Structure 1
């Protein structure tokens, strides 16, 4: 039998390369569409967030509007923090936990400290000239209405401190 030189196929021709390029482009387009759809789904408002006139405009059925949970009303609550130096560390937009500890003048020194409001946002930190008292410093927090009542009560009976997030 005669000897033959080895056959070397170079890339399969133009047609094969063209098919491969089209497949790659289809995958890229499909991936882009999938990512776009996921981003839109994540940023779209949920049906349970629609209430009242907004729900009617969005075409949300009545049965979904009845199940919608109302959002807690957020109010600004001025709070006097016992340590003025800690308040100087705060900036607008910071998240803090407000902790109440028993005031020694109320006779409740043995009770443990408790978190009154968790993860609330600092709205304003008035300058030192706006709080003439030496017993701490004022800070304004954005809290749900129910937490504002708890903060006011805790501020009247105990010393308040904050921890930064």
Structure 2
């Protein structure tokens, strides 16, 4: 399944290329502990993230299992999402 994900740090997104593998970390805005919501997700597209304002983060497309897509959607509602290259 493909999932669009808005990553908080647009500069990090500019380092990504299709085929890269990333872990996605959700850092809740409430100050709660950060959690890993996707492991080894494959980057499908980063072109959408290269032309957006930096303050809004950047949108990327990830290939993930359906269960991770649900976790990503839920986490994006109340957390800042960041990626770590695998």
User: TM-score, normalised to structure 2's length?
Assistant: 0.92
- Residue of structure 2 aligned with 1:135, choices 36, 45, 56: 56
1:16-165 to structure 2, matched below 5 A, reads 75-103=1-29, 108-109=30-31, 111-127=32-48, 128-129=50-51, 131=52, 134-165=55-86
Which structure: greater helix fraction? 1
Provide the C-alpha distance between the structure 2 equivalents of 1:126 and 1:156, rounded to a whole number of angstroms.
23
- Secondary structure (helix, strand or coil) at the match of 1:151 reads helix
Structure 1: tracts of 5 or more residues without a match: 1-74
Deviation digits for residues 74-112 of structure 1 (CA, Å, limit 9, x no counterpart): x11000000000000000000000000011xxxx21x11
Q: Higher relative contact order at CA 8 Å, sep ≥6: structure 1 or structure 2?
A: 2
* Equivalent residue pairs, number: 85
How far has the Cα of 1:164 moved from its partner?
Answer: 0.3
Structure 2: tracts of 5 or more residues without a match: none
Which structure: greater strand fraction? 2
- Secondary structure (helix, strand or coil) at the match of 1:89 reads coil
Larger Rg: 1
